[in-house]
Structure 1
Amino acid sequence: MLELEHTTKTHDEARQGEALELLPTGKSTGRKLYIESYGCQMNFSDSEIVASILVGNGFETTKDYKEADVVFINTCSIRENAEQRVRNRLKEFESAKNRNPGMIVGVLGCMAERLKSKFLEEEKLVDVVVGPDAYRDLPNLIGKVDDGTKAVNVLLSREETYADINPVRLNSNGISAFVSIMRGCDNMCSFCVVPFTRGRERSRDYQSIVKEARELFEAGYKEVTLLGQNVDSYKYTAPVAEGETATPTVNFAHLLAMVAEVSPELRIRFSTSHPKDITDEVLYTMARYDNICKYIHLPVQSGNSRVLDLMNRTYDREWYMERVEAIRRIIPACGISTDVITGFCTETEEEHAETLSMMDYVKYDFAYMFAYSERPGTLAAKRYEDDIPEQVKKRRLTEVVNKQQEHSLFRLQNFVGKVHKVLIEGFSKRSDQDYCGRNDQNTMVVFPVDSRFKPGQYVHVLAERCTSATLMGRIVDL
């Protein structure tokens, strides 16, 4: 799945593996490439970069890994069962490789550094392991494997942003696209592996971002999602040569405005925001431009200040609530989603209850929820005992999921009877008699096909009914 689904889901249900296909370009070598991605939107964006690099080196692609010469799995390391799922998938690839000894199998992305020895040497499941900052080296690494040696490059970079690479749009609907604006993360949340797997934070130059957005619009795209581990901390200052005058620093609010001004017909979304960095300047910029969608993903993780401190989230309960109040004040119609972790180290029942009360306070539109899973190498794994029994974690998770289902239904019921501007993305998954698309608040809307309109066009839909995940209605003329 290329985007977060707009419903109430646990973290594991919300992120699935998906094969990615693109059209071959350039001079072909006759070799076929298969890429399968897991995890967050950044992973799918990275797969588009990998595809661009390898297509530029003569590869064609296939949706069937059994006929591929090179098979890559782009990994997610955020949960233990995600790793197990990848390992099981690699064993399936191993069976195909037994029938095709020339096949190269590789692991890309966030698991690369931590599990390179296991995958390469102990389990012998892969031929090449490549970290998220080393994708430019892929042609060279594949060449090494062709010569009979295993190949590894998991070096992290303080400069790499792939700003000069034009991503190949994978499985594109020609309407929505991702644009990566930064890489890495400087937030050392104690439960998170991202700073160790993706390195330090660095922002891509704003000129290349605006250029990419403009080219997408000129190619017919109507929506871009700006991506980063923490988009609100985007900050770019152009290098200054000797004798030149320093240029102003461009922050995320400035960048949002620049991209919005590409065209009023180009919708702008972004993800993910960190509560410590979501400034009023960003909120006022969102309010000022009609084509910046009124939706913010604002992970809370816990509603208790002590637990947030253990998580090293750098804000407390009161700070988070103040930011929600600011969003509601400056952008009254803004949709808010979140991430929630249940059963973090030493979390008490009273502290869990504060998470539930935070959910009651905000009434999130939707959420991604999961029980705490200790990740090796993280600060939490080094400092704290994972002391909450699994059955307690799961029971608390069930309580969080049930509450979120109530709130999602509440939010959508408030949308019923109102008209929503919707970008038609395509046919509904359930019927080719219905279109689907999302409103400003990122909610999925389903409505009967109208021959006057086609995917890629904006329509106004009167919401007539809802589930806890979807609005249903009909196109109306205004």
Structure 2
Amino acid sequence: METLELQNKQINELRQGEAYEPLPGEQQYSKKFYIESYGCQMNFSDSEIVASILNKEGFGATRNAEEADLIFVNTCSIREKAEQTVRKRLTEFKKYKTNRPGALVGVLGCMAERLKSKFLEEEKLVDLVVGPDAYRSLPALVEEAQSGQKAINVLLSRDETYADISPVRLNSNGVTAFISIMRGCNNMCTFCVVPFTRGRERSREPKSIVAEAEDLFSRGFKEVTLLGQNVDSYNFIQEETGQTITFARLLELVAQVSPELRVRFSTSHPKDITEDVLLTMARYENICNYIHLPVQSGSSRILQLMNRTYTREWYMSKVDQIRRIIPECGISSDMIAGFCTETDQDHEDTLSIMRYSQYDYAYMFYYSERPGTLAARRFEDDVPLETKKRRLQEIVDLQYELSFESNKKDVGKTYKVLIEGESKKSEQQWMGRNSQNKVIVFPKNDQDLQKGDYVWVKVEECNKATLKGQMVPAMA
């Protein structure tokens, strides 16, 4: 399983007493639901599917949990800290029910799948528990819970992809959107719970994916991110022709929707990303030059214990291949510090592969044993917490250096930027991203521009996280 921007935690809400903009269509419904999403991009995509299902049942989305008839937390089980955060939020939401009789609280997603009846019986924090393959049953489960019964459905599916459901874009900027292309994971990385909480891989019918991209573009969206636990293993056999659609072919089909529609994808498993994918990226200007390529560890010994199915040298050769075919490609990664039996030398191997790969940025964590995983059954979590934290800090410090060095190389260069909105720090500045997924901030200069426009920006300065520049005339 790949982490899909692990712990890039967002909370789809504003706290009590703060002003908030109503969600689209919020005022049209007398009944309201609220969703808070944690963890990976797939969870946020799933929340949009849930929103669509609930809309059809007469519930409108709200950003204010205290006025909601249904409160859901879409959960992540990948790290212990994420589960602790969810438990704390559920305790807070349970109190809301005192002031709103009849309100229901539910858990969605990976924690629902992993913990099942624990929330209902032992902790009594929730009224509904719904796994990631059971969202179609939400209307019946809500009805069951409203009658006073505890409602649960965590059955995994071999074929559910929600291909026929048009997601409701929650908290959308109207410019970028996720498209789920597959569900589940067949990789049995020993540290990961996803194969147990999201089931086996199944790919969504390509026509429905292209149709969703076309619909988004027709509504003004200018960028889509194709999502999967491991997008490179996407594989769909068309019944009418027997033709196999690979990820490279799917990527091409989505890119052909319009040259004005940018295409990204996440996440890639190093063992599965093919030369065909890289050549397709190089062939289409609107397929972004950016790959998230989690390494997890730079030690071949640790990689074997993790069941990553590649060696240190093999990973480095994959980085070389990417640099050769797409010289300007941005690469990011995931690293886990302190996996079982990790030595100082193993840790040094991780630092050295970071230097070799020259990551633009990374998601970095220390190992957190998850119950039910292969690692929990096979290995002792024997690296002291203090050591894990020290090694993680060294990884973080090195990545800060690499990110800063990468950004400094961009000073003086000019990039095509998709405007996503105003800068968080100033209404007088736009914020957007270049093809390499780097954030660029630049003055508006009183030009008649809006979100979704493409502009050319010359980078003049930078810090570790952001490029800063000025708009320049369009390049030929």
Aligned twin of 1:19: 13
Q: Can you list the C-alpha shifts for 1:299-339, whole angstroms capped at 9, x where unaligned? A: 00000101000000011111101110000000000000000
The answer on 1:296 being equivalent to 2:291 is yes
User: Counterpart of 1:431 in 2: which secondary structure?
Assistant: coil
Aligned twin of 2:116: 116
User: Counterpart of 2:459 in 1: which secondary structure?
Assistant: strand
Does the Cα contact within 8 Å between 2:443 and 2:470 map onto a contact in 1?
Answer: yes
In structure 2, how many angstroms separate the alpha carbons of the residues matched to 1:361 and 1:443? 20
Aligned twin of 2:177: 177
Aligned twin of 1:73: 73
Does the Cα contact within 8 Å between 2:26 and 2:61 map onto a contact in 1?
Answer: no
The answer on 1:435 being equivalent to 2:435 is no
The answer on 1:310 being equivalent to 2:331 is no
Q: Can you list the C-alpha shifts for 1:87-137, whole angstroms capped at 9, x where unaligned? A: 000010011112223110000000012222221001100000000000000
Counterpart of 1:258 (choices 253, 268, 293) is: 253
The answer on 1:400 being equivalent to 2:395 is yes
Matches within 5 A, 1:129-208: 129-208=129-208
Counterpart AA for 1:438: R
Sequence identity percentage:
65
**TM-score, structure 2 as length reference:** 0.95
Counterpart AA for 1:247: G
Matches within 5 A, 1:98-109: 98-109=98-109
The answer on 1:454 being equivalent to 2:450 is yes
Aligned twin of 1:8: none
In structure 2, how many angstroms separate the alpha carbons of the residues matched to 1:346 and 1:173? 44
In structure 2, how many angstroms separate the alpha carbons of the residues matched to 1:25 and 1:50? 15
Does the Cα contact within 8 Å between 2:222 and 2:262 map onto a contact in 1?
Answer: yes
Does the Cα contact within 8 Å between 1:24 and 1:55 map onto a contact in 2?
Answer: no
**TM-score, structure 1 as length reference:** 0.95
Aligned twin of 2:460: 464
Q: Can you list the C-alpha shifts for 1:379-428, whole angstroms capped at 9, x where unaligned? A: 00000000000000000000000000000001100100000100000000
Aligned twin of 1:46: 46
Aligned twin of 1:327: 322
Shift of 1:278: 0.8
- Unaligned 5+ runs, structure 1: 6-10, 241-245
In structure 2, how many angstroms separate the alpha carbons of the residues matched to 1:339 and 1:153? 32
In structure 1, how many angstroms separate the alpha carbons of the residues matched to 2:244 and 2:317? 27
User: Counterpart of 1:111 in 2: which secondary structure?
Assistant: helix
Matches within 5 A, 1:379-394: 379-394=374-389
In structure 1, how many angstroms separate the alpha carbons of the residues matched to 2:382 and 2:391? 14
User: Counterpart of 2:158 in 1: which secondary structure?
Assistant: coil
In structure 2, how many angstroms separate the alpha carbons of the residues matched to 1:19 and 1:235? 36
Does the Cα contact within 8 Å between 1:230 and 1:274 map onto a contact in 2?
Answer: yes
Shift of 1:239: 2.9
Q: Can you list the C-alpha shifts for 1:163-212, whole angstroms capped at 9, x where unaligned? A: 00000011111111100000000000000000001000000000000011
The answer on 1:416 being equivalent to 2:417 is no
Does the Cα contact within 8 Å between 2:26 and 2:62 map onto a contact in 1?
Answer: no
In structure 2, how many angstroms separate the alpha carbons of the residues matched to 1:267 and 1:310? 38
Counterpart AA for 1:292: I
Aligned twin of 2:18: none
In structure 2, how many angstroms separate the alpha carbons of the residues matched to 1:17 and 1:59? 20
Shift of 1:454: 1.5
The answer on 1:276 being equivalent to 2:267 is no
User: Counterpart of 1:387 in 2: which secondary structure?
Assistant: coil
In structure 2, how many angstroms separate the alpha carbons of the residues matched to 1:149 and 1:281? 52
In structure 2, how many angstroms separate the alpha carbons of the residues matched to 1:408 and 1:189? 27
In structure 2, how many angstroms separate the alpha carbons of the residues matched to 1:357 and 1:47? 38
Counterpart AA for 1:463: V
In structure 1, how many angstroms separate the alpha carbons of the residues matched to 2:274 and 2:301? 24
In structure 1, how many angstroms separate the alpha carbons of the residues matched to 2:339 and 2:324? 32
Aligned twin of 1:366: 361
User: Counterpart of 1:19 in 2: which secondary structure?
Assistant: coil
In structure 2, how many angstroms separate the alpha carbons of the residues matched to 1:131 and 1:143? 17
In structure 2, how many angstroms separate the alpha carbons of the residues matched to 1:226 and 1:193? 22
The answer on 1:474 being equivalent to 2:470 is yes
Counterpart AA for 1:18: N
Shift of 1:247: 2.2
Structure 1 residues 235, 25: CA separation in 2 closer, same or farther (over 3 Å shift)? farther
Counterpart AA for 2:450: K
Aligned twin of 2:33: 33
Comparing 445-454 with 304-313, greater Cα deviation is found at 445-454
In structure 2, how many angstroms separate the alpha carbons of the residues matched to 1:342 and 1:18? 29
Does the Cα contact within 8 Å between 2:28 and 2:60 map onto a contact in 1?
Answer: no
In structure 1, how many angstroms separate the alpha carbons of the residues matched to 2:59 and 2:38? 22
The answer on 1:94 being equivalent to 2:90 is no
Matches within 5 A, 1:235-250: 235-239=235-239, 246-250=241-245
Post-superposition, which runs of at least 4 consecutive aligned residues in structure 1 deviate over 6 A? none
Shift of 1:4: 8.2
Does the Cα contact within 8 Å between 1:27 and 1:58 map onto a contact in 2?
Answer: no
In structure 1, how many angstroms separate the alpha carbons of the residues matched to 2:99 and 2:88? 18
CA RMSD, 1 decimal: 1.5
In structure 1, how many angstroms separate the alpha carbons of the residues matched to 2:121 and 2:331? 45
Comparing 58-67 with 305-314, greater Cα deviation is found at 58-67
In structure 2, how many angstroms separate the alpha carbons of the residues matched to 1:110 and 1:153? 12
In structure 1, how many angstroms separate the alpha carbons of the residues matched to 2:46 and 2:421? 24
In structure 2, how many angstroms separate the alpha carbons of the residues matched to 1:429 and 1:337? 23
In structure 2, how many angstroms separate the alpha carbons of the residues matched to 1:4 and 1:212? 21
Structure 1 residues 277, 26: CA separation in 2 closer, same or farther (over 3 Å shift)? farther
In structure 1, how many angstroms separate the alpha carbons of the residues matched to 2:308 and 2:169? 34
Shift of 1:447: 0.2
In structure 2, how many angstroms separate the alpha carbons of the residues matched to 1:314 and 1:43? 26
User: Counterpart of 2:393 in 1: which secondary structure?
Assistant: helix
Counterpart AA for 1:460: W
User: Counterpart of 1:18 in 2: which secondary structure?
Assistant: coil
Does the Cα contact within 8 Å between 2:4 and 2:42 map onto a contact in 1?
Answer: no
In structure 1, how many angstroms separate the alpha carbons of the residues matched to 2:118 and 2:164? 33
